[in-house]
Structure 1
């Protein structure tokens, strides 16, 4: 991976990080993508978790290849993949925490 590609990925990660810090703003994907007929929250959540798992598996695979001495995998590629994996997992964890908080708030409401 060239230095230009690494800088591009880092710039995208910073932009996503800044977008995630703004409280009350809608996610970029939710604004750009209209809801398709028949797509529900559970399927979207399942798809997102599956995507995070794929990112983690790719990062682990690249790490293993690098450790075994594969010349096609460089250290910067492994580090970027591991950071992507870490950020994806942390974002998923934050969504889970917010869902749990919302669920607890709804359950504590008096009817």
Structure 2
């Protein structure tokens, strides 16, 4: 019986995608570096969360617009494009819900800690 190993190329691709998204978010947020050029940039959690929610909103709106164009009979929009965009919007929304659930769980854990 052969066991399937972890596909490291998929993990590397995911890490590269996360790094690219983080770099894109840093560039778009206008976060300034400190006076030392070697110091790493600091990302505010609220800014990261807002950027993530804005991205989810953008994907949702794009999906809705494609659906409306297809329903109105636009020849440039295919059904497969609409379905793919709807699935992307659904996945991004479900991911956001799961992150929210984890944050709430972490908050409750911290609040229930004995000091």
Give the TM-score normalised by the residue count of structure 2.
0.68
1:108 equivalent in structure 2 = 112
Mean Cα displacement is larger for which, 34-43 or 71-80? 34-43
- The aligned runs of 1:1-111 (5 Å cut-off) are 28=15, 29=18, 37-111=41-115
State how far apart, in whole Å, the 1-side matches of 2:42 and 2:86 are. Answer: 34
Which residues of structure 1 form unaligned runs of 5+? 1-14, 20-26
Tell me: higher relative CO, structure 1 or 2? Use CA pairs within 8 A at least 6 residues apart: 1
Displacement of 1:33 after TM fit? 5.1
Deviation per residue, 1:7-35 (Å, 9 max, x gap): xxxxxxxx9xx97xxxxxxx7326x9578
State how far apart, in whole Å, the 2-side matches of 1:63 and 1:33 are. Answer: 29
Which residues of structure 2 form unaligned runs of 5+? 1-6, 27-39
State how far apart, in whole Å, the 2-side matches of 1:33 and 1:70 are. Answer: 35
Give the TM-score normalised by the residue count of structure 1.
0.70
Deviation per residue, 1:35-88 (Å, 9 max, x gap): 852421110010000000000000000000000000000000000000000000
Select the structure of larger CA radius of gyration.
2
Name the Cα RMSD after superposition: 2.7
